[in-house]
Copies of this chain bind each other. A is one copy, B any other.
Amino acid sequence: MNALERLHALGLSLPELEPVKYSYVRARQTGRTVYLAGQTPKSKAGYAYKGKLGEAVTLEEGQECARLCMLNLLAAAHEHLGSLDRITAVLKVNGFVASAPTFTQQPLVINAASDLLVSVLGEAGKHARTAIGVPVLPSDAPVEIDMILEVE
């Protein structure tokens, strides 16, 4: 199975991305390195969840948000590359979790995105990672993730 088939086998598909509203682009490449812009768990239907972990958003909801961020990132990678199979390594994942000052399980939230990445890309999906708490994210999103890829 290729990466897209593995995604479909999980019952998932690449979301359709909305136009970027601001003065940036979703992906920028130098040599074999691709930088992807931060993605929130936004779909065409809007945000499934808003708010902070440790307040309105539960751990499970935060993990679902992390998976939605990762699906958006994979859609951006697919748009840029034409195929997810051109990803040879995920170099770095940065996970930002909107957190009440008492919430300390950021790794558990972002891990849902990491697990999805490895399920879809296999060995190529293994990545270095940083997960931190933030007080608030754009549009009151609970999670934002960006990443850096090595491509063919």
Q: Which residues of A contact B (CB under 8 A)?
A: 21-28, 30-33, 35-38, 52, 89-94, 96, 98-108, 111, 114-115, 117-118, 126-140, 144, 146, 148, 150
Task: Decide if A30 touches B33 in the complex (CB within 8 Å).
Answer: yes
Task: Decide if B134 touches A23 in the complex (CB within 8 Å).
Answer: no
Can you sample 14 A-B contacts with CB below 8 Å?
A: A21-B107, A23-B118, A24-B114, A25-B126, A28-B89, A28-B90, A28-B91, A30-B33, A33-B91, A35-B128, A96-B130, A100-B135, A133-B137, A134-B135
Nearest-Cβ distance from residue A98 to partner chain B, whole angstroms: 8
Question: With A104-B139, A107-B138 given, can you name 20 additional A-B contacts, CB distance below 8 Å?
Answer: A23-B111, A23-B118, A24-B111, A24-B128, A25-B126, A25-B127, A26-B128, A27-B128, A28-B91, A28-B128, A33-B33, A33-B91, A38-B130, A96-B132, A101-B135, A106-B137, A106-B138, A132-B134, A132-B144, A133-B134
